[in-house]
Amino acid sequence: MNFLTVGHRGLMGVEPENTVRSFLRAEGEGLDQIELDLHLSKDGALVVMHDAEVDRTTDGTGRIGDLTLDALRELDAGQGERVPVLEEVLNAVTGPIQAEIKDVAAARVLAELLRERDEVGRVSVISFHDEALRAVHELLPQSHRVLVAGELGRDLVPRALAVGARMVSLELPHLSLDVVLRCRDAGLAVIAWTVNTPQELELAHALRLDGIVTDVPSIGAGGRCVRSPDGPDGGPDGGS
């Protein structure tokens, strides 16, 4: 099976994160999927940004939830890029997308948008928040769901199964072969974030992961290889 490569917030190591420019760069570099983050604006738009505040990645200040979409549009998100909404990204790129719900309230809005646009098959819904994935599971049972986790305790697999996830996205430094095997035994694919060096990529392959999330194009290109024949059969449906 092919090893999945995912562009983290587009390719944030070389472009302004979570911008259309960054997503197009990731797609142009040949990564399999792009990952982005979602919050709701004050007037209910699905805003593509990682933080709850705009301060770090734009020339503005304040919480996304306190700002209207028109106000967010005035901000510079890096190199003249504007803060995008999810609809713009869906129109701009052609490949698969991983949409991470940062704000639990965005789950219902996202589910409705994916249904209306018939994008359920292209967009994997990912989140650290079980509640958000559970809501999407109820609203869109056919959707691809991915549990993102930093803590890798014994409840990881039960949590993923409870929200109907097919994959888990886990932090590479915390991963062990035992964790990977526990997930595989439950039928869960495993990818890791964030893999930005040759050494980290080598570890990902040694753990026989199903894929990686990366900030840089060189690792993304290097990660596109085939796993050894003794790896598990089947492949991931989405990513984190």
| Least-confidence region, from 136-150, 190-204, 226-240 | 226-240
What's the whole-number mean pLDDT along residues 167-186? 97
| pLDDT reported for residue 236 | 34
SS3 at position 223: helix
What one-character DSSP code corresponds to residue 65? G
Q: Which two tokens stand for residue 78?
A: 């890096």
User: What pLDDT digit, counting tens, does each position of 86-98 carry?
Assistant: 999 999 999 999 9
pLDDT at 83 over 50: yes
Please confirm, yes or no, whether 144 is among the known catalytic residues. no
**Which one of the listed residues 39, 50, 144, 205 is annotated catalytic?**
50
Percent of the chain whose pLDDT exceeds 70: 91
pLDDT at 221 over 90: no
| pLDDT reported for residue 2 | 86
| pLDDT reported for residue 224 | 56
Alpha-carbon span 17 to 13, nearest angstrom: 8
What is the overall mean pLDDT for the chain?
A: 92
Q: Please, which residues bridge with residue 53 across strands?
A: 63
Q: Which residues contact 70 (CB under 8 A, 6 or more apart)?
A: none
Distances (CA, A) of 236 to 91, 168, 232: 24, 10, 11
Domains of the chain: 4-42+88-223 (3.20.20.190)
Percent of the chain whose pLDDT exceeds 90: 90
What's the whole-number mean pLDDT along residues 10-18? 98
DSSP string, 85-149: BHHHHHHH--S-EEEEESSTTHHHHHHHHHHHHT-TTTEEEEES-HHHHHHHHHH-TTSEEEEEE
Please confirm, yes or no, whether 39 is among the known catalytic residues. no
**Which one of the listed residues 8, 39, 137, 144 is annotated catalytic?**
8
pLDDT at 232 over 60: no
Alpha helices in the chain, H assignment, sequence order = 20-28, 69-73, 86-92, 106-117, 130-139, 156-162, 177-185, 198-206, 217-223
What's the whole-number mean pLDDT along residues 26-35? 97
Given pLDDT bands bounded at 50, 70 and 90, which one contains residue 220?
confident
